[in-house]
Amino acid sequence: MLRTPRSIEIILAFGGFALAWLRHRPQELPQRFKQTIERLGTTFIKLAQGLSLRMDLLPKAYRDALAELQSRVAPFPGAEAIVAIETAFGAPLDQLFARFDTQPLAAASVAQIHRAEMPDGRAVIVKVRRPGIVRQVGRDLRLLRRIVRGATWLLPGLRRQRPLALIDELGKQLFGELDLRHEAQNVRRLAAALRQQGGLHVPAVIDPLVTADVMVQEFAPGRPVSERFGTPAGEELAVSLLDAYLHQLFVVGAVHADPHPGNLFARDDGRLCLHDFGLVGSLDTLSRQALGRMLEAVIYRDAEAALASAIELGFVAGAFDRRALQRGIDTILAELQGQPLAEWSLAETLWRIAQLGAGEHFRIPRHLLVLLRALFLLESTLRALDPRFDLVGELMKRREVLQTALAAPVAGPAGPRPAGQLALRSVRDLPRLLSHWLQQAQADDGRPPIAIHHRGLERLESRLERVGNRMVLALLALGLYVGGAVLMLHSAGPWLYGVPIAAVVAFVAAAGLSLKLIAAVFRSEGL
């Protein structure tokens, strides 16, 4: 049977969505788009999951629909998994494991998992990458780029969204997830950092049994956290989950970016177990401090501090009106005052701040997109575990964690902060700001980067520009008059009514410029 070319398959799938867009109600479209992506398979599912991070590009309904995408695919034969394992480690299966289950425990679009037992008796899981997945993803990305090039040629307006750059960005992220060595590195990093968290468990990687195709991990039995939703055990797990993420955000600087219920398991000993470390966000020290100050500002409803933190995080780009943005932030924070603390969404508040002015001055740096998505998923999971979970109240109970990021004490309950604390914060930040200023100077051949901001000079600048333009017009007109007079005396023809044509052209052009100059003078209310 003839197989439909992949390019035609992609075009037909999106063409079908376009027809649905013309015929269906808008509220149905996000789910139709999700179904279209699911039909296209692994590559597009993973790309769409990455696209759900781009809150700056997609409406919330579409982001929510894409975030629901699950890679529901049939497992590949266990014999193929055995071949991949023996090829990866260069040894027969019976030398590597005392027991290996050919029937997979779970299967996804990128890899599937088999239970096994090490020769020393340790229970492990073996994650095997799907054969041919790298080649398939590469082929699909090349086809998608060609299709997008054609679409931007037909619809030039699409170029403003830089779709090819977006595909390249998502493709790079996807290839990172396909390499199981990358995931193993993430596991090692977070396992070491979270070892002190008593309520959390990260399954260890079994070294050296890690390649791009295969990764062996400790087997960590547990039950899906969805079974604990709304129960007393769920309330305890919510607290453990919050503690784990505060530690990741403000102490470690590396964040498990996919805390949805499918990746969280409750162990029999009451601990929370994290799975799937393919996507991990990173925060440098300055970003951690700025994020801490941003959360602090939102809790205390301090618009000025929130704007300063947004600038430090890199949310603000280009020239902007500081007072206007501060008023916008103040309006957002004022709307929270009438809400119970348990109903606050810190992630939603941060997103609203980033969208002020329809995004004209705000942007979301790439390294923070993963973080914002993680915060949204975290809040959703916390409130599923405990519907009455008071996120702001719990944050206030954990001042010491925020202090790690801020390097200063956090004052009492939400409300106006004492003047002494504000002064202390300013003194604390001064050495850091001075150091940054000097570093910039060093990077610029020793010249300090000084910027002078002025107000009220725009009108003067505009007037000077108009005066300059009029002077140019006057000089051109004068030159043409002089040139015409010279031509009258020395031109040999051709002639028009006894006058050289070249001189006529010069006089007509000069007259036109003169009339333009006179009109400009009258529009500006005289000389």
Q: DSSP letter string over 90-104?
A: TS-HHHH-SEE-SS-
Same domain, 63 and 82: no
Q: Which residues are CB-neighbours of 101 under 8 A, at least 6 positions away?
A: 78, 114, 115, 116
Whole-number Å distance between alpha carbons of 411 and 344: 20
Same domain, 248 and 122: no
Cα–Cα distances (Å) from 9 to 14, 37, 138, 212, 418, in that order, read: 9, 12, 16, 30, 63
H-assigned helices in 300-365:
303-313, 322-336, 346-354
Same domain, 202 and 318: no
Cα–Cα distances (Å) from 295 to 238, 349, 359, 397, in that order, read: 19, 10, 21, 14
Whole-number Å distance between alpha carbons of 231 and 227: 9
DSSP type of residue 160:
G
Q: DSSP letter string over 420-482?
A: HHHHHHHHHHHHHHHHHHHHHHHHTTT--------SS-HHHHHHHHHHHHHHHHHHHHHHHHH
C-alpha torsion sign, points 298, 303, 304, 307: positive
- Residues facing 274 on adjacent strands: 264
Cα–Cα distances (Å) from 406 to 285, 392, 401, in that order, read: 10, 17, 9
Same domain, 292 and 367: yes
Q: Is residue 15 part of a domain?
A: yes
Tens of pLDDT, residues 54-63: 655 677 777 7
Q: What is the DSSP pairing of strand 264-266 with strand 214-218?
A: unpaired
DSSP type of residue 362:
B
pTM comes to 0.65
Q: Is residue 412 part of a domain?
A: no
Angle CA 167–249–194, to nearest 5? 110
Same domain, 294 and 372: yes
Same domain, 88 and 36: no
**Could you tell me the two tokens for 486?**
């010279």
Residues 250, 402: contact at Cβ < 8 Å? yes
Q: Mean of the per-residue pLDDT values for the chain? A: 76
Number of domains in the chain: 5
Angle CA 242–248–250, to nearest 5? 95
Q: Is residue 1 part of a domain?
A: no
Residues 191, 244: contact at Cβ < 8 Å? no
Whole-number Å distance between alpha carbons of 196 and 205: 18
Residue 321: CB atoms within 10 Å: 11
Same domain, 159 and 236: no
Whole-number Å distance between alpha carbons of 76 and 107: 8
Q: DSSP letter string over 213-236?
A: SEEEEE----EEGGGGTTSHHHHH
CA-based nearest residue to 177, from 206, 212, 143: 212
Cα–Cα distances (Å) from 355 to 310, 349, 362, in that order, read: 12, 10, 6
Same domain, 191 and 293: no
CA-based nearest residue to 60, from 52, 68, 50: 52
Residue 480 domain boundaries: 458-523
Q: Is residue 486 part of a domain?
A: yes
Q: Is residue 211 part of a domain?
A: yes
pLDDT of residue 332: 85
> Which helix or strand (DSSP H or E) is residue 486 part of?
helix 458-490
Same domain, 155 and 228: no
Whole-number Å distance between alpha carbons of 172 and 335: 39
Question: Would you please indicate which residues are annotated as catalytic (active-site) residues?
Answer: 258
Q: Which residues are CB-neighbours of 360 under 8 A, at least 6 positions away?
A: none
Whole-number Å distance between alpha carbons of 375 and 248: 12
Q: Is residue 453 part of a domain?
A: no
Same domain, 318 and 186: no
Q: Is residue 393 part of a domain?
A: yes
Angle CA 24–26–30, to nearest 5? 100
pLDDT of residue 73: 67
> Which helix or strand (DSSP H or E) is residue 18 part of?
helix 6-23
Specify the CATH number for the domain of residue 213.
3.30.200.20
Q: What is the DSSP pairing of strand 272-274 with strand 200-201?
A: parallel
Whole-number Å distance between alpha carbons of 329 and 334: 8
What are the b/e assignments for 351-366, b being 16+ CB within 10 Å? Answer: bbbbbbeeeebbebee
Whole-number Å distance between alpha carbons of 55 and 351: 8
Same domain, 238 and 385: yes
Alpha carbon of residue 198 to chain centroid: 31
Q: Is residue 413 part of a domain?
A: no
What are the b/e assignments for 185-214, b being 16+ CB within 10 Å? Answer: ebbbbbbebbeebebbbbbebbeebbbebb
Same domain, 253 and 375: yes
What is the full per-residue pLDDT of the chain (527 aa) written as tens digits?
456 677 777 777 777 777 777 676 677 788 888 888 877 877 787 777 666 656 556 777 777 777 666 555 678 999 999 999 999 999 999 999 999 999 998 888 788 999 999 999 999 999 999 998 888 888 888 888 887 787 778 767 667 667 777 778 777 877 888 899 999 999 998 888 787 777 788 899 999 999 999 999 999 888 888 888 888 888 888 988 988 888 888 888 888 888 888 788 988 888 889 888 888 888 888 888 888 888 888 877 888 888 888 888 877 766 677 788 888 888 888 877 666 656 677 777 877 777 665 555 566 676 677 787 788 888 888 888 888 888 877 887 776 666 655 554 433 334 444 544 544 555 555 555 555 445 444 444 444 444 444 555 555 566 666 666 777 677 777 777 777 776 666 665 677 666 677 777 777 777 877 777 777 766 665 44
Q: Which residues are CB-neighbours of 191 under 8 A, at least 6 positions away?
A: 202, 203, 204, 205
